[in-house]
Amino acid sequence: MEQVIKLNESMVTRARTAADAIADDIQHHIEVHTTDSTERATLRLLGITGVNEIDVPLVNVVIEHAHDLLPGGIMAPFVDLMMQSGKSAQEVAEGVAAGHLTLEDVPAERRAAAERRGVELAVESVARIDAVRRRREELVAEVGEPQRPYAYVIVATGNIHEDAVQAKAAARAGADVIAVIRTTAQSLLDYVPYGLTTEGFGGTYATQENFHLMRASLDEVGAELGRYIRLCNYASGLCMPEIATMGALERLDMMLNDSMYGIIFRNINMQRTFVDQHLSRLINARAGIIINTGEDNYLTTADAFEKGHTVVSSDFINEAFALRANLEPWQIGLGHAFQIDPATPNQVVYQVADAQLIRQLFPGYPLKYMPPTKYMPGDIFQGHIIDAMFNLTGIFTDQEIHVQGMLTEAIHTPLLQDRYLSIKNTQYVFEACRGLAGEVQFREGGVIERRANDVLAKAVDQLEHVRETGLFKALEDGEFADVRRDPAGGRGFEGVFKRASSYFNPFVAALRDGRMSGPPTGPLRTVATVEGGH
- Convert 56-94 to b/e letters by CB count within 10 Å (16 or more is b): ebbbbbbbebbeebbebbbbbbbbbbbbeeeeebeebbb
Q: Count the helices and strands in the chain (H runs, E runs).
A: 19, 11
Residues 303 and 294: their CA atoms lie apart, in Å, by 16
Q: Is 228 a residue of the active site?
A: no
Predicted pLDDT of residue 519: 64
Residues across the chain: 534
Helix (H/G/I), strand (E/B), else coil: 445: coil
398 catalytically annotated: no
CA distance 144 to 170: 18
- Give the per-residue pLDDT at 412: 87
Please pick, among 261, 375, 420, 503, the residue that the annotation labels catalytic.
Answer: 261
Domain limits, the chain: 33-123, 147-439
Q: What is the pLDDT of residue 71?
A: 98
- The ranges of the chain with pLDDT < 70 are 1-2, 515-534
CA-CA-CA-CA torsion sign (237, 238, 240, 246): negative
CA–CA dist 333, 236 (Å, integer): 15
Do β-strands 33-35 and 496-498 pair in parallel, antiparallel, or remain unpaired? antiparallel
Choose the catalytic residue: 168, 176, 298, 368.
Answer: 368
CATH C-level class of 147-439: alpha beta
The answer to whether 207 touches 158, Cβ cutoff 8 Å, is no
**Model-level pTM?**
0.95
Instruction: Choose the catalytic residue: 296, 315, 387, 398.
Output: 296
473 part of the active site: no
pLDDT of residue 414: 85
For the chain, how are helix, strand and coil distributed in percent, rounded to 5? Answer: 55, 10, 35
**pLDDT score, position 242:** 98
pLDDT at 125: 98
Phi and psi, residue 50, nearest 5°: 90, 175
The C-alpha atoms of residue 312 and residue 529 are separated, in whole angstroms, by 14
- The one-letter amino acid code at 233 reads N
Is the Cα dihedral 408, 412, 417, 423 positive or negative? positive
pLDDT value of position 518:
62
**What 3-state class would DSSP assign to 233?**
strand
Rounding to the nearest 10 degrees, give the CA dihedral for residues 3, 459, 298, 178: 40
The per-residue pLDDT for 532 is: 39
| CA nearest to 261, candidates 309, 206, 314 | 314
* Interhelix angle 240-249/36-45, nearest 10 degrees: 20
- H or E element, residue 336: strand 335-337
The answer to whether 50 and 253 are in contact (CB under 8 A) is: no
DSSP H helices in 58-107: 58-65, 75-85, 89-98
Which residue in 511, 58, 11, 106 sits closest to 284, CA to CA? 511
Give the pLDDT confidence score for residue 1 in this predicted structure. 39
